[in-house]
Amino acid sequence: MKRFAYKNTTTIDDAVSFLKAGNAKVLAGGIDMLNLLKAGALTSPPGTLVNIKNIPGLDSIKEDSQGVTLGALVKISDIAGSTAIRGKFSALAEAAGSVSSPPLREMSTLGGNLCQEVQCWYFRRSFLTGTFFNCFRKGGSQCFALTGENRYHAILGGKRCFAVCPSDIAIALTALDATIVTNKRSIPIGDFFEIMGNVLEKDEIITHIRIPRPKPGTKQVFSKFALRPAIDFAIVSVAAVITARAGKISDARIILGAVAPVPYRALAAEDVLRGKTISEALAETAAGAAVKDAVPLTHNKYKVQVTKTLVKRAILA
């Protein structure tokens, strides 16, 4: 691991000043960042890690009449166990409870989970691990997954890079129409993620996430398929937030995870649902619409059927 400076901060302003000063990265739970550094996966490793864990006020969960606000340093385990979250934002609680293993949930933070890097093995490999792949994410000119091992890569929305968004939390928050608040602005979560990561600027830190209160008559579902559910990242995940009035669906948000570089909103599936009464036939049609634009790679066609199954189950739950 290359040497780096370590700066403790107790205010957002101090943290931002270190970020502005040079080649620095934020450190919260540290799980993903330290793994990247140890593997030598970053072509430009940070010269300074800025510890924000001691900044007060960023580890709270506050509920009011408009919804709930979660600090960026809230632990994933606290989200999974929160009475307020489990009662009114159950999709988020389910997503948090599905993240990795209990010890890692005790260390991982909400902001860190949203900002983690992709798990693509081509990106994560380096000379330290035996082979270096100069892919798009490292400034290269190709995505090696296109013609290589791509069983866990994108089937929807892939452009240049086909690595998928690894955050379960992001899928649930997108379904819940959350807003990400930084030291500089408020960002609708649908505008936060990009194919190559997120829209945060060099001197920008997530401080809070705001989730509006669901409408009456809303059901929420989060589910994911993984080879080893106790620890593995999702192969496919789905978050559904569906509102019904007088037996008919008035609004729906269907978000797919681990199938695209960003949380993928299945707009075609939502259109199928609106104004209808839930039935198995309707769920089957909506599930097909969710993957109608899928373009599987050589080894991940199976993801299409897995996605359809999870979407159907979420609608019927």
Residue type for position 314: A
Tell me how far the alpha carbon of residue 304 is from its chain's centroid. Answer: 20
Tens digits of residue pLDDT in 209-253: 999 999 999 999 999 999 998 889 999 999 999 999 999 999 999
Beta bridge partners of 49: 6, 25
- In this prediction, residue 229 carries a pLDDT of 84
pLDDT for 130 equals: 83
Instruction: Report which secondary-structure segment, H or E, holds 4.
Output: none
Listed by start position, the domains of the chain span: 1-53, 61-114+164-316
What pLDDT is attached to residue 134?
95
Which residues does 39 contact at the CB level (< 8 Å), separation at least 6? Answer: 124, 125, 126, 128, 129
pLDDT band at 305 (very low <50, low <70, confident <90, very high): very high
| Residue pLDDT, tens place only, 128-163 | 888 999 999 999 999 999 999 999 999 999 999 999
258-to-162, 168, 226, 261 alpha-carbon distances in Å: 10, 8, 10, 8
Average pLDDT, the chain: 96
Helices (H), 116-197: 121-124, 168-175
- What residue type is 35 in one-letter code? N
Cα–Cα distance, 267 to 57 (Å, whole number):
36
| Cα Rg, the chain, nearest whole Å | 20
Q: CB of 283 within 8 A of CB of 240?
A: no
pLDDT at 48 over 90: yes
Tokens 């509006």 appear where? 212
Sheet holding 218-225, edge to edge: 218-225, 236-245, 248-257, 264-265
Q: How do residues 54-72 score in pLDDT, each as one tens digit?
A: 999 999 999 999 999 999 9
**pTM of the predicted model over 0.85:** yes
Count the helix, strand and coil residues of the chain and give each as a percent rounded to the nearest 5: 35, 25, 45
Helix or strand or coil: residue 21? helix
Q: Which CATH number fits domain 1-53: 3.40.250.10, 3.30.413.10, 3.30.43.10, 3.40.50.1260?
A: 3.30.43.10
Rounded Cα gap, residues 139 and 253, in angstroms: 34
Tokens 């609106």 belong to: 274
**Residue 230 parent element (H or E):** none
Distance CA 94, CA 203 (A): 32
* Separation of alpha carbons 142 and 123, rounded Å: 11
* The pLDDT value given to residue 128: 86
pLDDT at 36: 95
b/e burial code for range 296-316 (CB count within 10 A of at least 16 → b): bbeebeebbebbbebbbebbe
Classify residue 73 by its DSSP letter.
T
CATH topology of domain 61-114+164-316: Enolase-like; domain 1 (3.30.390)
Torsion from C-alpha of 125, 126, 131, 133, nearest 10 degrees: 70
pLDDT in tens, 210-222: 999 999 999 999 9
Helix (H) or strand (E) holding 212: strand 206-212
CB of 73 closer than 8 Å to CB of 28: yes
